[in-house]
Amino acid sequence: MKYLRIEPRRPKVGIFDFTSCEGCELQLVNHEESLADFLACVEIVNFREASAARDDTYDIALVEGSISRADEVERLKSIRAKAKTLVAFGSCACFGGVNRLKNACDLVAANREVYGAHPKETLPVRAVKEIVPVDLEIPGCPVNKPEVERIVQHLMMDLPFQLPVYPVCVECKQRFTTCLYERGELCLGAISRAGCDAPCPAGGLGCWGCRGPALDANVEAFRSMVRERGFSQRELDERMSFFGGFEVRS
Ligand code: SF4
Ligand code: SF4
Ligand code: SF4
């Protein structure tokens, strides 16, 4: 069957996890109303969390998680060598995610405190693109399944996919959510990349920027606005550094 005069293909997909909570992988088996269609579009050949299939021949590798051990570096390089398209899947893979917070700690002292005489190997956290070339990033903690489905449709047709470049505020306004600044609360929606449909402000929580910065986000103007509204630099930096997607100067 052709669509837009293009013959869609059914790519072989391998799904791999590194340092992560595996919540992004879980998203793949969520959204049950479209799960059967999703699985008809792709051939899952490697997915430890949900399938016994094991095949090292795949077109697309979805890589979840950040990299924090030497053996992970080697495994990631081996996946990169086999995949035609490597996708950093979720904020841990794209930016280091919440795991990146540990880079601000003394890892030797933390290891001693937690594991005593039996320290665990742990390297400073890196995003996937800091180790191997990445073809596509799908940010989000977790990823947004409808967005993942749209991306897979594009990959099937060999069409380029563009993540939204505008900020979360656009989607927030489309939902008619009252701005949290009206309630005196902090929100990173003005500088964060949209595509999640702004669930956090709709649920009464400020955006924490899990999808990283929107294109051309004017962070300096945003910092001034937030300062004028009475929030401290520290509060803002803590929030902006939470998922590792923003450059934070302090
Ligand atoms: S991005 Fe969030 S949901 Fe996905 S693996 Fe990392 S911590 Fe879990
Ligand atoms: S609540 Fe946040 S995302 Fe929504 S309009 Fe206000 S600043 Fe933007
Ligand atoms: S509103 Fe912000 S924190 Fe919530 S999912 Fe969207 S980008 Fe992530």
Q: Does the beta carbon of 189 sit less than 6 angstroms from any atom of ligand 2?
A: yes
User: At which of 156, 190, 222 does a domain end?
Assistant: 156
Q: Does the beta carbon of 100 sit less than 6 angstroms from any atom of ligand 3?
A: no
Q: Does the beta carbon of 156 sit less than 6 angstroms from any atom of ligand 3?
A: no
pLDDT for the residue 5: 64
Of the pLDDT bands very low, low, confident and very high (cuts 50, 70, 90), residue 39 is confident
Of the pLDDT bands very low, low, confident and very high (cuts 50, 70, 90), residue 103 is very high
The rounded distance, in Å, linking the Cα atoms of 136 and 70 is 24
Are 111 and 235 within one domain?
no
Judge whether 53 lies within some domain: yes
Greatest Cα-to-Cα distance within the chain, rounded to the nearest angstrom: 64
Alpha-carbon separation of residue 161 from 149, 150, 169 (angstroms) = 11, 8, 21
pLDDT for the residue 23: 96
Tens-place pLDDT, residues 193-239 = 999 999 999 999 999 999 999 999 999 999 999 999 999 999 999 99
Res. 117: pLDDT tops 60: yes
Q: At what angle do helices 233-240 and 219-228 cross, to 10 degrees?
A: 130
Judge whether 137 lies within some domain: yes
Judge whether 57 lies within some domain: yes
Domain coverage including residue 47? 12-156
Q: Does the beta carbon of 123 sit less than 6 angstroms from any atom of ligand 2?
A: no
CA of 187 to the centre of ligand 3 (A): 10
CA of 165 to the centre of ligand 1 (A): 21
Domain containing residue 133: CATH number: 3.40.50.700
The residue type of 18 is F
pLDDT for the residue 47: 94
Res. 135: pLDDT tops 60: yes
Judge whether 1 lies within some domain: no
Tens-place pLDDT, residues 46-92 = 999 888 889 999 999 999 999 999 999 999 999 999 999 999 999 99
Ligand nearest to the CA of 204: 2
> Counting beta carbons within 10 angstroms of the beta carbon of residue 141, is it exposed (0 to 12), middle (13 to 18) or buried (19 or more)?
buried
In the chain, the percentage of residues whose pLDDT exceeds 90 is 80
Are 26 and 117 within one domain?
yes
pLDDT for the residue 30: 85
User: At which of 89, 122, 156 does a domain end?
Assistant: 156
Q: Does the beta carbon of 180 sit less than 6 angstroms from any atom of ligand 3?
A: no
Judge whether 2 lies within some domain: no
Q: Does the beta carbon of 194 sit less than 6 angstroms from any atom of ligand 2?
A: no
102 close to 110: Cβ distance less than 8 angstroms = yes
- In the chain, the N- to C-terminal Cα span, in Å, equals 55
126 close to 175: Cβ distance less than 8 angstroms = no
CA-nearest of 164, 165, 163, 187 to 177 is 187
Q: Does the beta carbon of 26 sit less than 6 angstroms from any atom of ligand 1?
A: no
Mutation probe of ligand 2 site: the residue of 207, 218, 228, 231 with most atoms within 8 A of C-beta: 207
Are 152 and 179 within one domain?
no
> Counting beta carbons within 10 angstroms of the beta carbon of residue 246, is it exposed (0 to 12), middle (13 to 18) or buried (19 or more)?
buried
Q: Does the beta carbon of 141 sit less than 6 angstroms from any atom of ligand 1?
A: yes
Between the CA atoms of 234, 240, 244 and 247, what dihedral angle is there, to the nearest 10 degrees? -80
Total number of domains in the chain: 2
Are 100 and 207 within one domain?
no
Judge whether 78 lies within some domain: yes
Res. 3: pLDDT tops 60: no
Q: Does the beta carbon of 187 sit less than 6 angstroms from any atom of ligand 2?
A: yes
Of the pLDDT bands very low, low, confident and very high (cuts 50, 70, 90), residue 2 is low
Of the pLDDT bands very low, low, confident and very high (cuts 50, 70, 90), residue 249 is low
CA of 109 to the centre of ligand 1 (A): 26
CA-nearest of 152, 158, 164 to 4 is 158
User: At which of 125, 156, 187 does a domain end?
Assistant: 156
pLDDT for the residue 248: 82
Are 86 and 209 within one domain?
no
CA of 129 to the centre of ligand 3 (A): 22
Q: Which atom of ligand 1 is nearest the CA belonging to 21?
A: 8
CA-nearest of 12, 17, 23 to 140 is 23
Element (H, E) at 136: strand 136-138
Q: Which tokens hold the place of 205?
A: 């929580």
CA of 230 to the centre of ligand 3 (A): 22
Chain centroid to CA 138: 5
pLDDT for the residue 250: 54
